[in-house]
Amino acid sequence: MSTALGRSIDDGLAVGRRLLAAREYHKAVQCHRLISLKFPRDVRVYMGLGQSFRALGNRAKMARAFRRAIVLQPDAVELYYNFGNAERSFDQPQSAAQLYRWAIQQAPQRPEIVTALSLALLQLGDWSAAWPHYEMRESCREFTNQMAALGKTVWDGQITAGHRILLVAEQGAGDAIQFIRYARFLAEAGMIVQVHCATALERLFAAQPWIHGVSTKGHPEFDSTCLMMSLPYRFGTEPKSIPGDAPYLNWPAPAKASQPNRAPRVGLVWAGTPRNTRDEWRSCPQDAYSKLLEVPGIDFQSLQLGWRNNSDDAPWSTVTPLGDGISDYADTAEIIAELDLVISVDTSIAHLAGALGKPVWVLLGRHADWRWLLERADTPWYPGMRLFRMDDNGNAGQNIGRSNDKNAGKDEGWDDLLTRVATTLSDDATFPTGP
């Protein structure tokens, strides 16, 4: 890494970016520190150093690096924006919101900063202020422009009986499952609700009686349209006014013979799709889930797609793999209907279990998504859901998520969290079992 000192600053910063991308976080810190010796007054060095400490999970040193950069260039919008993002990754939305506001004062035309402010406000529970800002997200702006170019009307929130509205699933499947709840209220008010979504959701949504039709490629005729994640704004949703008690989605379980005194069935999901930009924050190493399997008297079943039980070693040899039998979310709903509890990281399966009214425990890693708010063990989105948050105690300076850095300290956060969950499962395995 000493060779970085002999290069231009751009070359050195490029090395730092590559190390961060490779999750070589300790080496990234060393790289930026070496560059700072030769270029002590370049703000980019300290911004890179701050990002490296952010990845390592050291908030104090992260903040120190960003503040040094701000002293050098107090009017640099990118510093406030990136500092705000880093603060939000440490579940500090109050500080992040202030940094975003400072950035917006200097660059009010930057929609990505307005969107970031909305996410901080959402996590704080200030939803009335957040939802208008959230309409500045890139996908929403692109959708609005596309509809305008096609001469189509974006729904303004006016409820009119007989009005044909097309709701468009905008982001992940979990988001669509979470926000489809609003469709029922539109239908009950007399609107004709049509949904455009991913193929994997088609059968699940088409089975709901309050959805008039589902499209996955072309779309039917409609009077107006709306992105699903804009529906909370149209409804003026606050944490205390979230519509729809669970279950709001239904999928019947197949009739089976009674099995008296059977063991509780618990479904497991430890990872989401790696394509998700937040995957390193939310997915858990499979080995950490081994702690759950030590709890006796539980029939564990894996809903993890692509996982096969190829090991004869305990405790995983006793887990029933169900992922190969899942082709869409209707299949998953059918399986969940037969479970007594789902334990999942923050994935679409957790949302589906919540929407079906199934008891579900969600394991939240660092930098939990805005929808889970702060510090709560419950959520107003799903009455039957219980949140388990990663404990910061004893984990300062550890890596966030998973790292390939051989010099990095082992991230004990997931191990500690799963130990607590296993203890809770052992002490609280009294949930009712179905037939």
Instruction: Express each pLDDT in 197-208 by its tens digit.
Output: 999 999 999 999
Q: Bridge partners of 377?
A: none
**Choice among 52-61, 168-177, 308-317, 327-336 with the minimum mean pLDDT:** 308-317
Q: Is the pLDDT of residue 398 over 80?
A: no
* Higher pLDDT pick, 432 / 226: 226
Per-residue model confidence (pLDDT) at position 401:
37
Which domains, ranges and CATH numbers included, belong to the chain?
2-128 (1.25.40.10), 141-235 (3.40.50), 265-427 (3.40.50.2000)
pLDDT digits (tens, 9 = 90+) for 163-204: 999 999 998 999 999 999 999 999 999 999 999 999 999 999
Single-letter code of the amino acid located at 194: Q
Q: Which of 82, 79, 67, 77 is nearest to 106 (CA)?
A: 77
How far is Cα 334 from Cα 253, in angstroms, rounded to an integer? 5
Confidence of residue 274 (pLDDT cuts 50, 70, 90): confident
Per-residue model confidence (pLDDT) at position 400:
38
Cis peptide leading into 40, omega within 30 of 0? no
Q: Is the pLDDT of residue 238 over 90?
A: yes
Confidence of residue 406 (pLDDT cuts 50, 70, 90): very low
pLDDT digits (tens, 9 = 90+) for 49-106: 999 999 998 999 999 999 999 999 999 999 999 999 999 999 999 999 999 999 999 9
**Choice among 71-80, 141-150, 365-374 with the minimum mean pLDDT:** 365-374
Per-residue model confidence (pLDDT) at position 219:
87
Q: Is the pLDDT of residue 405 over 50?
A: no
Is the dihedral angle over the CA atoms 398, 399, 404, 410 positive or is it negative? positive
Confidence of residue 391 (pLDDT cuts 50, 70, 90): confident
pTM score, whole prediction: 0.90
Mean pLDDT of 215-240: 96
Mean pLDDT of 366-377: 92
pLDDT digits (tens, 9 = 90+) for 290-299: 999 999 999 9
* Higher pLDDT pick, 403 / 273: 273
Per-residue model confidence (pLDDT) at position 309:
79
Calculate what percentage of the chain has a pLDDT beyond 90: 78
Confidence of residue 392 (pLDDT cuts 50, 70, 90): low
Confidence of residue 257 (pLDDT cuts 50, 70, 90): low
How far is Cα 304 from Cα 316, in angstroms, rounded to an integer? 13
Confidence of residue 278 (pLDDT cuts 50, 70, 90): confident
Confidence of residue 262 (pLDDT cuts 50, 70, 90): confident
Single-letter code of the amino acid located at 225: T
Mean pLDDT of 330-352: 96
Q: Helices 111-124 and 127-134: crossing angle, nearest 10°?
A: 150
Q: Is the pLDDT of residue 140 over 90?
A: yes
Structure token pair of residue 206: 């088409």
Single-letter code of the amino acid located at 29: V
Q: Is the pLDDT of residue 434 over 60?
A: no
Q: Say if residues 79 and 91 touch (Cβ distance below 8 Å).
A: no
How far is Cα 25 from Cα 407, in angstroms, rounded to an integer? 9
Q: Helices 77-89 and 93-106: crossing angle, nearest 10°?
A: 160
Mean pLDDT of the chain: 90
* Higher pLDDT pick, 3 / 311: 311
